[in-house]
């Protein structure tokens, strides 16, 4: 970001719970906020900007008011950009812009939710018809899983991608999850385990799908000036990009996502290329979500994702592109059905050398990428490129 | 045939003609008089050039399967409508439209020629287009 002041991630916190029957969602918001502020070595009253994509169970556009009131925050800047799981990565970019504009110095981003405790079976149930688009999609029973299933089937048709290649993604994530004491599923699984698991929406199997968990997370983004007062090792936000992908009036291409645009914008702003990246956090609602993102972010040519992920390429610490070293949404955590938050948190842990030692990568430059909505139709994409202090 | 508890479309002034044409056995798309784009789902402004001069166009109701996915279980969906095949069908006129394939999963693959059928909605001047494999 040449010629512009820098902004840094000074604090992160991931809630350790995966099931919170005895807590309120607002309590989780408060606990992760306290965690991230404490991680940075700051106090609540230092926070002067607040970002959230909402409280999913309330479905309220007023969520910044609800949460800021609950936390007792007095802020000069607030934002509730919501495109699903990519929102929190986009918030990092928006916070950087607000800081550069002099609107704020210390921006807090929080996510919390309790879909597991509320018995929500996401992605596989009939939904209400609410928008014009729903009348042409949801009436057919189009859910996240059938839409991602259609994307996987088309990718296989065009490029020869196999179920075993998709399964490599889950196998690598589960390899990492065994070292994460908080992960929902800590047992390593093989490619065979994945392809032998029940087909949920063909060609996707049960183990191609992410977990449903309670929990949350928080990020604190600070200005150069605020950082200079901190003892904490900080991570610089080098580039950010976002994009909205859509149905293209009937010309949808199920093998391509808006990561093509968000990734390019983030790399251009950072002045870097995919080959510079040492570690990647990639949103993993389903294995196909990761495969298409790897291609669209430019880690390989379009259509070569299946070959790229073979032979442990995604496994830390020695793979070609170590990814999701916390176990990701596939194995560890998918708080409130929105995985973008934990993608940023694990990238920061990698750059600060604070993740589980068995999967710690010698990383100076990392990427976090989120996909929100459905790649089968409307979706958001947001990407950040992050740099460690010693790079 | 009852859709309940299957969701039914929200019929708006913008889309009423599409649904009532379906009840009469016609599948409509939109066509832009300015730039020629043939598009779906229906909108009053062309999503390419933003012209407000757009027309309804009847299709011949045939196309090919662009992609599909079969769900064998689905929360809240009537058991008698399972397995459920959600698909994109590429119409001969161009647009890829989301739909159901009303057949057995082993009868179709990507590229299979299909043709439209209409399932009436009780109590409304509307029907839902679905597709079945096309006979030669
Ligand atoms: Zn036009």
Residue A195 sits in the same domain as residue A329: yes
DSSP 8-state code for residue A357:
G
Residue-range definition of the domain harbouring residue A333? 132-210+239-387
Residue A19 sits in the same domain as residue A144: no
Residue A286 sits in the same domain as residue A344: yes
In a domain, B10, yes or no: no
Q: Chain B: nearest CA to A139, how far in angstroms? A: 5
In a domain, B129, yes or no: yes
Q: How confident is the model at residue B135 (pLDDT cuts 50, 70, 90)?
A: confident
In chain A, the number of structural domains is: 2
Closest CA to A291 of A369, A187, A198: A369
ipTM over 0.85: yes
pLDDT digits (tens, 9 = 90+) for A296-338: 999 999 999 999 999 999 999 999 999 999 999 999 999 988 9
CA distances, A312 to each of A129, A175, A176 (Å): 42, 10, 12
Would you call B10 and A250 a contact, using CB atoms and an 8 Å cutoff?
A: no
Q: Report residue A133: phi and psi, to 5°.
A: -60, -35
The CA distance from A260 to A319, in Å, is 23
pLDDT digits (tens, 9 = 90+) for A57-85: 776 678 888 999 999 999 999 999 999 99
Residue A36 sits in the same domain as residue A16: yes
- A264's enclosing H/E stretch is helix A259-270
Last residue of a domain, one of A202, A234, A266: A234
For A158, residues 6+ apart whose C-beta sits below 8 A from its C-beta are A255, A303
Coil, strand, or helix at residue A18? coil
The CA distance from A139 to B7, in Å, is 5
In a domain, A294, yes or no: yes
What's the gap in Å between B65 CA and the centre of ligand 1?
26
Which chain B residue's Cα is nearest to A154?
B67
CATH number, domain with residue A41: 3.40.47.10
In a domain, A277, yes or no: yes
In a domain, A226, yes or no: yes
CB contact A256 to B (< 8 Å)? no
Residue A146 sits in the same domain as residue A267: yes
Would you call B86 and A125 a contact, using CB atoms and an 8 Å cutoff?
A: no
Spatial contact of A98 and A77, defined as CB atoms under 8 Å apart: yes
Burial class (CB in 10 A: 0-12, 13-18, 19+), A278: middle
Question: Which letter, b or e, does each residue of A22-45 get, where b requires 16 or more Cβ atoms within 10 Å of its Cβ?
Answer: ebebbebbbbbbebbbebbebeee
Residue A250 sits in the same domain as residue A149: yes
pTM over 0.90: yes
Residue A136 sits in the same domain as residue A251: yes
Of the partner residues A139, A147, A148, the one whose CB lies closest to the CB of residue B7: A139
In chain B, the number of structural domains is: 1
Residue A230 sits in the same domain as residue A281: no
Q: Chain A: nearest CA to B64, how far in angstroms? A: 13
Residue A289 sits in the same domain as residue A350: yes
CB contact A136 to B (< 8 Å)? yes
Task: With beta carbons under 8 A apart, name residues in chain B contacting A158.
Answer: none
Would you call A135 and B41 a contact, using CB atoms and an 8 Å cutoff?
A: yes
In a domain, B4, yes or no: no
Spatial contact of A244 and A192, defined as CB atoms under 8 Å apart: no
Residue-range definition of the domain harbouring residue B52? 16-133
Angle of the A87-100 helix axis to the A340-352 helix axis, nearest 10: 60
Q: How confident is the model at residue A54 (pLDDT cuts 50, 70, 90)?
A: confident
The CA distance from B38 to B35, in Å, is 9
């Amino acid at each position: 970001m040449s010629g512009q002041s820098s902004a840094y991630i000074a604090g992160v916190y991931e809630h350790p719970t995966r099931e919170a029957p005895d807590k309120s969602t607002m309590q989780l918001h408060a606990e992760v906020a306290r965690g991230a502020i404490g991680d940075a070595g700051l106090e609540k009253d230092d926070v002067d900007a607040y970002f959230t994509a909402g409280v999913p169970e309330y479905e309220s556009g007023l969520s910044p008011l609800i949460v800021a009131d609950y936390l007792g925050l007095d802020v000069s800047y607030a934002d509730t950009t919501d495109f699903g799981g990519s929102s929190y990565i986009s918030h990092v970019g928006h916070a950087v812009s607000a800081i550069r504009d002099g609107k704020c110095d210390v921006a807090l981003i929080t996510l919390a939710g309790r879909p597991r405790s509320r018995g929500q079976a996401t992605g596989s149930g009939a939904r209400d018809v609410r928008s014009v688009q729903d009348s042409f999609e949801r009436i057919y029973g189009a859910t996240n899983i059938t839409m991602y299933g259609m994307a996987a089937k088309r990718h296989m048709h065009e490029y020869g991608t196999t179920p075993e290649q998709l399964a490599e993604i889950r196998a690598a994530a589960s390899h990492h999850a065994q070292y994460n004491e908080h992960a929902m599923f800590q047992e390593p699984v093989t490619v065979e385990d994945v392809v032998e698991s029940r087909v949920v929406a063909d060609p996707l199997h049960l183990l191609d799908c992410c977990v449903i968990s309670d929990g949350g997370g928080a990020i604190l983004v600070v200005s150069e000036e605020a950082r200079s007062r901190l003892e904490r090792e900080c991570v610089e936000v080098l580039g950010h990009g976002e994009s909205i992908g859509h149905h293209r009036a009937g010309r949808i291409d199920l093998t391509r996502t808006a990561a093509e645009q968000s990734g390019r914008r983030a790399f251009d702003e950072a002045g870097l290329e995919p080959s510079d990246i040492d570690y990647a956090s990639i949103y993993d609602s389903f294995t196909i979500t990761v495969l298409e993102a790897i291609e669209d972010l430019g880690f390989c040519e379009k259509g070569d994702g299946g070959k790229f992920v073979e032979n442990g390429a995604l496994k830390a610490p020695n793979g070609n592109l170590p990814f999701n070293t916390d176990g990701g949404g596939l194995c560890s955590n998918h708080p409130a059905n929105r995985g973008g938050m934990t993608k940023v948190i694990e990238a920061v842990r990698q750059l600060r050398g604070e993740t589980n030692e068995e999967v710690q990568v010698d990383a100076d430059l990392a990427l976090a990428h989120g996909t929100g909505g459905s790649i089968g139709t409307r979706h958001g994409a947001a990407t950040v490129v992050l740099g460690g202090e010693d790079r | 045939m009852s859709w309940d508890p299957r969701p039914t479309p929200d019929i708006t002034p913008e889309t009423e003609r599409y649904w009532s044409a379906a009840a009469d056995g016609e599948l409509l798309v939109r066509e832009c008089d300015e730039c020629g784009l043939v598009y779906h789902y229906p909108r009053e402004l062309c999503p390419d050039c933003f012209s407000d001069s757009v027309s309804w166009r009847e299709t011949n109701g045939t196309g090919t399967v662009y992609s599909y996915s079969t769900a064998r279980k689905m929360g809240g969906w009537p058991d008698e409508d399972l397995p459920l095949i959600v698909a994109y069908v590429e119409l001969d006129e161009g647009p890829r439209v989301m739909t159901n394939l009303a057949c057995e999963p082993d009868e179709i693959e990507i590229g299979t020629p299909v043709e439209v059928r209409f399932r009436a909605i009780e109590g409304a001047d509307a029907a839902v287009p679905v597709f079945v494999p096309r006979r030669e």
